[in-house]
Structure 1
């Protein structure tokens, strides 16, 4: 079933202007980065060091893949959970106006399970190079967070996603044009339903097409102005736990207007399967109690896969 909706903010003039912008090469950026994690759980990074040429190459290769006949794309799936998928966003009934590739990143960050199944050499090469670059960016952002939180060592957070056993993924989403919306004004379909990301950090970018929305603390939804030259960063559930709720795992969704296709690429930086997650003692103030019981990343993933997208998975782990 395709769900039609009227976007709360459907016009470019209604884009939310409060997205923090963090210049990674500007001295003193750690403090505003921490504020962004506390207030929104979402921010944009510039001067990230990833060449636009690489980004454009991967985007073009992805569009070539999604333009293939359906029978060719189906050979790369079904996503269970990795590979090619369409409409179905898991095993619990969530659907969206989207097709996607979900790829596991193993201890060799250049090795993706999907690559062995793909015949597109240009896509394979672009994916390998991109994963190495965006993984490095995620580590740099997490080190800046540690600096802003004044915790040592500097890799207290980044080591979790840089570890050779880290459970990380890359997702490439394609929101195609929707014929049923032709001639309808200010209408959209649910591209990807509202949810939070379970991992530590998500680093995403998209082409120059709108659709991404985030939820503010008051529960209202606001549209994010696309910027294909920058990266957006989400605080994930695991990072919310590690900071004892100081950082906010941002709830977000994608509304597809159906008139323009949208492509997004998201790197999910997760900890090793056996990593035990609990608030860092260095971040607990005097007399402050942990808001979450200790659990492993594997336990949390099991919980995530057994719930629907919109569910609050963390409530099962609160004290």
Structure 2
């Protein structure tokens, strides 16, 4: 493994591409407008913990509007972007991902949104009229994506045979649901062309939350790990949304659904912008498998924990750590 140091204290991994320009053809594509999408979502979560949705009802104009605002922000001089301040929890970050030593070829804006309208989130680091247009785009987009998350979670519940259709969706639609939103920018890195390498943009990890909804521009770099541990590249699609099952969803389904391990690599020639919604439950919500999914033996694979406890433990770990191992029971 080679590392790129910039500055010397930041060691960003360089990865030799195994199959240049080869995309994984097995990504489940689910049309939300067709009958049977609930069962298809369940199959995708069992096999991959990941799928793509089409006919999702979110307008292309709305997606493009927020992407344009993100591009404007990331095009600002560095000293202007740094006025957004380190992400604690909201703010601007550059290369350093969290407080535990993880780094990547990425800069980002992170927002803790909870149930607050974005008008209550300080965008004082932006001058007008950029602040107003950015805030408006964030409000519209997050509202639409939160509703999409609820729709997908209700289809999951239906596909699992749950009598209570909102048993999962209410976790992200409650007044005190813990919601995060992230804008990532992966700048070009010209030196990679000469090395014929990919640079780690965001290292391998699983998402702690219930569900994550990702949209990116038409640039490659997103990869998921299959059950055998092999990495595959996901074809870019700027009109659809990619859905990640998170750690909390794996616990709720008693391991039936997979929390997908994923990462982002950069090829150095094209800028990549992504927008990710993270849907988490209220802090005091006890995360434990749903009784209907315990199986005939009625055994849970996980100890009970609140979302606040799990989130605290997750954010103390490194990206690549198996965080759920802390809460797995030793089955006999």
Q: What TM-score does the superposition give when structure 2 sets the normalisation length?
A: 0.93
Matched with 2:3 is: none
Matched with 1:159 is: 170
Distance 1:105 1:111, change over 3 A: farther
Classify the secondary structure of the residue corresponding to 2:84.
coil
Deviation at 1:118, TM superposition (A): 3.3
Q: Tell whether the 8 Å contact from 2:81 to 2:125 is kept in structure 1 after alignment.
A: no
Distance 1:172 1:112, change over 3 A: farther
Classify the secondary structure of the residue corresponding to 2:123.
helix
Matched with 1:72 is: 80
1:96 equivalenced with 2:107 (yes/no): no
For the residues of structure 2 that align with 1:213 and 1:49, how far apart are their CA atoms?
25
For the residues of structure 2 that align with 1:115 and 1:49, how far apart are their CA atoms?
28
For the residues of structure 1 that align with 2:314 and 2:12, how far apart are their CA atoms?
24
1:40 equivalenced with 2:60 (yes/no): no
* Structure 1 consecutive aligned stretches of length 4 or more whose deviation exceeds 2 Å: 7-10, 108-119, 182-185
Distance 1:37 1:114, change over 3 A: farther
**1:206 pairs with one of 192, 216, 221:** 216
Deviation at 1:291, TM superposition (A): 0.1
Matched with 1:27 is: 35
For the residues of structure 2 that align with 1:275 and 1:52, how far apart are their CA atoms?
34
For the residues of structure 2 that align with 1:116 and 1:128, how far apart are their CA atoms?
16
For the residues of structure 1 that align with 2:156 and 2:27, how far apart are their CA atoms?
17
Q: What TM-score does the superposition give when structure 1 sets the normalisation length?
A: 0.97
Q: Which moved more, 1:71-80 or 1:219-228?
A: 71-80
For the residues of structure 2 that align with 1:117 and 1:77, how far apart are their CA atoms?
8
For the residues of structure 2 that align with 1:297 and 1:109, how far apart are their CA atoms?
22
Classify the secondary structure of the residue corresponding to 2:320.
coil
Deviation at 1:4, TM superposition (A): 1.4
For the residues of structure 2 that align with 1:244 and 1:195, how far apart are their CA atoms?
20
Q: Tell whether the 8 Å contact from 1:45 to 1:232 is kept in structure 2 after alignment.
A: yes
1:173 equivalenced with 2:181 (yes/no): no
The gaps in structure 2 that reach 5 residues or longer are 1-10
What is the RMSD of the two structures over their aligned residues, measured on CA atoms? 1.2
For the residues of structure 1 that align with 2:314 and 2:144, how far apart are their CA atoms?
27
Q: Tell whether the 8 Å contact from 1:82 to 1:114 is kept in structure 2 after alignment.
A: no
